[in-house]
């Protein structure tokens, strides 16, 4: 991996609820290299979106960071005052949210929403910011951008709304973009267009990108490194090539085996059981109730990431004995 531009170290996020405290993110650690793409994968509810929101300081109330560090170019963002973090958002780090219809303001024209950040962060005049909005809409492939800047979100298709979200994220030329499932609810053709757009923009400007997705094939084709999350914890990290070829955590293996294999058509191998309750997670390794390789020492103690050769890490203490069962997987 190249020199990290962003490092997340033992990040912990808690959300108080009536049932108790939800440990939405519980000791997550990973790093993002300059100009690289990191895939962040895992089941729904495992903490991926909360991790991204914590990085940029946009946790929903009453969620809060209770421990850990988020180092951006060596500066711990968790120690910055709200004003300092707000100054970095947009200019240095930007986020593409999962659902544009809830992220976009329904009563403002999309041109105004794209122009907002250059006005507030870059000190552009109204005329220059509007010209920037038109330029960005053209850049992200929206036809007739001069007319479409006047449109409201409900007047655009799902694909166009997602392109507007990308334009907003790019408006101040940030160094890091956090993309939270940017192709959710889009048809396959539009998904492909959006992803190709993102990665062509990345190549053009040298962006560093964290991509949250459920699609392991997309990760295989677009990401260099990978972090696998389960029940609020990162359980495996490494290069995509090595993790997919030789997974070193049973949960990663379960994810790979659940992907359809068109060379060997048959029933998919589902991961047994259900994800744990994050208010009262199981003791020890959180995956042990569902793990085919679990042993007596998996049910107590802490299971942080343990370094492996080739800049890899796993939270599984029995990854060596389970390695023979963790067969390679090819995703195309």
* Crossing angle for the helix pair 126-139 and 110-121, to the nearest 10 degrees: 120
E-only strand ranges, the chain: 4-17, 20-33, 37-41, 64-72, 75-76, 93-96, 176-180, 208-212, 225-230, 233-239, 306-308, 312-314
Where does residue 146 fall: left (phi above 0), alpha (psi -120 to 50 degrees), or beta otherwise?
A: alpha
Q: Is 32 helix (H, G, I), strand (E, B) or coil?
A: strand
Helices (H), 70-123: 82-88, 100-103, 110-121
- pLDDT at position 330 is 54
Give the pLDDT of the chain (332 residues) as one tens digit per residue. Answer: 568 999 999 999 999 999 999 999 999 999 999 999 999 999 999 999 999 999 999 999 999 999 999 999 999 999 999 899 988 998 999 999 888 888 999 999 999 999 999 999 899 999 999 999 999 999 898 999 999 999 999 999 988 999 999 999 999 999 999 999 888 767 888 888 888 888 888 888 889 999 999 888 889 988 999 999 999 999 999 999 999 999 999 999 999 988 876 666 666 788 999 999 999 999 999 999 999 999 999 999 999 999 999 999 999 999 887 666 666 555 54
Question: Which positions ≥6 away from 50 have C-beta within 8 Å?
Answer: 13, 24, 25, 59, 63
Report CA 158 to chain centroid distance, whole Å. Answer: 20
Question: Which positions ≥6 away from 99 have C-beta within 8 Å?
Answer: 184, 185
Report CA 112 to chain centroid distance, whole Å. Answer: 27
CA quadruple 324, 328, 10, 294: dihedral sign: negative
**Which residues on neighbouring strands pair with residue 96, listed in sequence order?**
179
Q: Cα separations (Å) of 274 from 2, 74, 207, 290?
A: 37, 38, 36, 8
- pLDDT at position 331 is 54
- pLDDT at position 264 is 61
Question: Which positions ≥6 away from 133 have C-beta within 8 Å?
Answer: 110, 111, 112, 114, 115, 118, 149, 167, 171
**Contact (CB, 8 A) for 311 and 238:** yes
**Ordered DSSP codes for 244-269:** HHS--SHHHHHHHHTS--TTS-S---
What tokens does 193 get? 């267009």
- pLDDT at position 332 is 45
Please name the residue that has the structure tokens 């492939």: 141
Give the alpha-carbon dihedral of 219, 221, 226, 227, to 10 degrees.
0
Where does residue 313 fall: left (phi above 0), alpha (psi -120 to 50 degrees), or beta otherwise?
A: beta
């Amino acid at each position: 991996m190249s020199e990290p531009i962003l490092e997340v170290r033992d990040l912990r996020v808690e959300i108080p609820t009536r049932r108790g405290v939800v440990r939405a993110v519980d000791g997550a650690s990973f790093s993002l290299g300059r100009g690289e793409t990191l895939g962040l994968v895992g089941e729904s509810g495992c903490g991926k979106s909360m991790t991204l929101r914590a990085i940029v300081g946009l946790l929903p109330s009453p969620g809060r960071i209770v421990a850990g560090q988020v180092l951006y170019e060596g500066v711990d963002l968790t120690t910055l005052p709200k004003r300092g973090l707000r100054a970095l958002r947009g200019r240095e780090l930007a986020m593409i949210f999962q659902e544009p219809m809830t992220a976009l303001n329904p009563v403002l024209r999309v041109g105004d929403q794209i122009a907002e950040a250059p006005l507030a962060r870059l000190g552009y005049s109204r005329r220059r910011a509007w010209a920037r909005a038109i330029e960005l809409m053209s850049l992200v492939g929206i036809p007739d951008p001069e007319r479409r800047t006047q449109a409201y979100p409900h007047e655009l298709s799902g694909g166009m709304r997602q392109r507007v979200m990308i334009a907003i994220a790019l408006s101040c030329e940030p160094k890091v973009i956090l993309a939270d499932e940017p192709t959710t609810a889009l048809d396959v053709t539009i998904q492909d267009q959006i992803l190709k757009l993102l990665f062509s923009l990345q190549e053009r400007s040298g962006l560093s990108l964290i991509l949250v997705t459920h699609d392991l094939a997309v990760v295989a084709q677009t990401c260099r490194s990978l972090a696998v999350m389960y029940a609020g914890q990162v359980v495996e990290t490494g290069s995509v090539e090595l993790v997919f070829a030789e997974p070193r955590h049973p949960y990663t293996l379960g994810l790979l085996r659940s992907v359809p294999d068109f060379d060997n058509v048959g029933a998919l191998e589902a991961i047994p059981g259900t994800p744990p309750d994050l208010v009262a997670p199981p003791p020890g390794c959180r995956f042990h109730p569902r793990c085919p390789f679990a042993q007596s020492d998996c049910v107590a103690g802490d299971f942080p990431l343990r370094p492996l050769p080739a800049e890899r890490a796993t939270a599984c203490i029995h990854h060596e004995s389970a390695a023979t069962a963790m067969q390679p997987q090819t995703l195309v």
